[in-house]
A and B are shown apart, each in its own frame.
Chain A
Amino acid sequence: MIGRLSIDGQMLAVVTLSTILLLILPQVFEIDTILQLTLNFSFSILALSLAFVWGYAGIFSFGQAAFFGIGGYAYAATAINLGDSTPAIVAGVLVPTLFAALFGYFVFYARLTKIYVAVITLVMTLILYKFMGQTAKPDYMIGNARLGGYNGIPAVPPINVPGQPHLFAGPDEMFYIAGFSLLAVYVLLRWILGTRFGKVIIGMRENEKRMELLGFDTRLYKLLAFVVAAAVAGFGGVVFTNWNAFIDPHVFQLAFSAQPIIWVMIGGLGTLAGPILGTFILSTLSLELGVQKALDVNLLLGAIFTFFVLLVPQGIIPTVRNLLENREAAASNKTDGTTESRG
């Protein structure tokens, strides 16, 4: 059904539906559900950043959670120092962007293979975790903000009306901010994918050599895609830090870096809706398991992930879509006896 609408129509439908949902949900649910949804929105932004760089540009990055964390730390440090959240949000996006540009320059201009990129981004995350954990000494300060080692930075000021720090967002406002942020990121990425730049990176995913022979500098395009994803992840980190009012090095931990990869893989690589779906399903599951403590979270996530890689490598959304299209095709075969193929 959805396939018959034009891209613009689809986008309009998604935006309208999401807006209505976002406006209704706080009236229906209790505060704990609202808080949980807000957290999932910030995680979904993280998932979208990986969905973009891995699913469309074909670069498997272990470092998205690290950029998410850097964004959170940059927001926290700036907000504490300036007391106003507006420049802090800018810093929360800008710092991971610059960091990714520098790091990505070394990685992509060395033309490292996919495996090496995966490994080196993983190593970056691990080392950030260890380094941030060791910053407990009082001499690790950014202005007035103490990094605080494994204890992190507490009491991070929430988002406020620009220029008016006393008008800050409560849980309900935060829900709207996080929800519309997610929607905005989704629309932004969809738009990017429709531009010439988006088509080039998808082409690169399909056949890098060919794109290079056509005259595109794939090193530059990879770097750009990597940087865009880092900016998105950093923005997710800003939303997350707001939800938490707190940031600590656990965002650089292996177990946390693992999460977006599982969300994207299970939701469906090469889609944007899939990873959001994956985020909601799996982070709810993790939360439930964390409460029950009967089964270890890592055990189950690891088992599910390995299962998907071996048997459902496409993920949920593409698999379901294929299934539906096959059934539709079979049905139309029966009624008019002709094979119809749609693009």
Chain B
Amino acid sequence: MVIAGIQILNTVAGLALISLGLAIIFGMMRVMNFAHGELLMLGAYSVQLAHSSGLNIWISMFVVAPLFVGLVGVVIELLVVRRLYGRMMDTLLATWGLSLFITGLITMIFGNMTRGISTPLGSFEIGGIRESSYKFLIIGVTIVLFAAIYFVLRRTRVGMIARATMDNPSQVAALGVNPGYVYTATFAVGAALSGLAGAVLAPLTGVLPTMGAAYIGKAFITVICGGEAILAGTASAAFLFGTINQVTTITLNPEFGEVALLIGALLMLRLLPAGLSSSFRRKLL
């Protein structure tokens, strides 16, 4: 029971983690970033390369990966996304072309093979079943990130400027802040969070050029079913779908875990097309 509980919590945290960067970019900028999976993949590659060249695993994971992928985010925003603001469909298509491009580039440089990172931390035992302590790290990182984003958006000046820009860019510009900078920064933060998520999950999944495809389905469902509220929506959708996925996997069989996810998402969108958070009474972040 305890083990099942930990597994469910771990799946929920994993879903929330891979969706957070996408949710911020979509929620704040209305840009559906189809290269999201590749940002996760680049995060995984950063930590693998940095660690195998001798850097401390935690520094590679929590500093190198988000910094590098954040920079990639800046480049993507300046070269592609910036030209297409307000044209949601074209942004989706262009970022999706980029996702192919990045996958191809990484395949050419590093080859189409899986690289591994050994899972740090040891394992513990409950009732005769061994579990990796790393799962607690994932749950912990997710909670800390959500709390940090909440704090920044709600309680700091930077967060206020960001929210104001998404609300009314011309007003913000009139007050002396260049909305262009805010967009670039927001995209970079979303990308950095995706890089961090990819890095944190890399020891569990291995590192492969096409690994993004394994993530994006779940991340997209979580974000669109979460709805308008970035944090509360993503968290509640991750909770719902993580539970559905894990319970189906345990009770039926693993093959139906993700099929149940899709059916759950279709039913939910039929009932609440604007996402889970549209049913909350108070407007949340």
Contacts and interface: CB of A to CB of B under 8 A. Distances in A.
A115 interface: yes
Given A60-B89, A127-B259, A134-B255, A298 B103 contact: yes
B224 A126 contact: no
A310 B94 contact: yes
Contact of A130 (B216, B258, B273): B258
A300 B270 CA distance: 38
Contacts of B183: none
Interface stretch (B132-140, B155-163, B260-268): B260-268
Contacts of A21: none
Given A114-B89, A302-B97, A123 B220 contact: yes
Interface residues of B, number: 41
Given A114-B89, A298-B101, A106 B221 contact: no
Interface string B74-97: 000000100110001110111011
B224 A313 contact: no
B32 interface: yes
Interface in A108-165: 109-112, 114-116, 118-120, 122-124, 126-127, 130-131, 134-135
B108 interface: yes
A112 B269 contact: yes
Among A107, A109, A254, residue most surrounded by chain B Cβ atoms (within 10 Å): A254
Nearest to A137: B255
A295 interface: yes
Interface residues on A, range: 35 or more
Interface string B110-137: 0000000000000000000000000000
Interface string B216-228: 1100110010000
A306 to B, nearest CB: 3
A309 B267 contact: no
Given A122-B217, A306-B94, A313-B90, A299 B104 contact: yes
Among B94, B98, B100, B108, residue most surrounded by chain A Cβ atoms (within 10 Å): B100
B220 A306 contact: no
Contacts of A88: none
B261 A265 contact: no
Contacts of A106: 266-267, 269-270
B93 A305 contact: yes
A103 interface: yes
Contact of A123 (B80, B99, B254, B265): B265
Contacts of A305: 93, 96-97, 100
Contacts of B254: 134
Nearest to A116: B224
B100 to A, nearest CB: 3
B82 to A, nearest CB: 11
Contacts of B255: 131, 134-135
Interface string A290-309: 00000111111111111111
A63 B88 CA distance: 19
B76 to A, nearest CB: 10
A120 to B, nearest CB: 7
A122 B32 CA distance: 13
A127 B262 contact: yes
Interface in A91-117: 103, 106-107, 109-112, 114-116
A111 B261 CA distance: 20
Given A110-B269, A134-B255, A302 B103 contact: yes
B171 interface: no
B216 to A, nearest CB: 7
Interface in A190-249: none
A115 B83 CA distance: 18
A273 interface: no
A258 interface: yes
Nearest to B95: A306
Shortest Cβ-Cβ A-B pairs, 10 listed: A299-B104, A302-B100, A302-B101, A298-B104, A306-B97, A305-B97, A296-B104, A126-B217, A134-B255, A106-B266
8 contacts: A103-B266, A106-B269, A107-B269, A119-B220, A119-B224, A124-B262, A131-B259, A134-B255
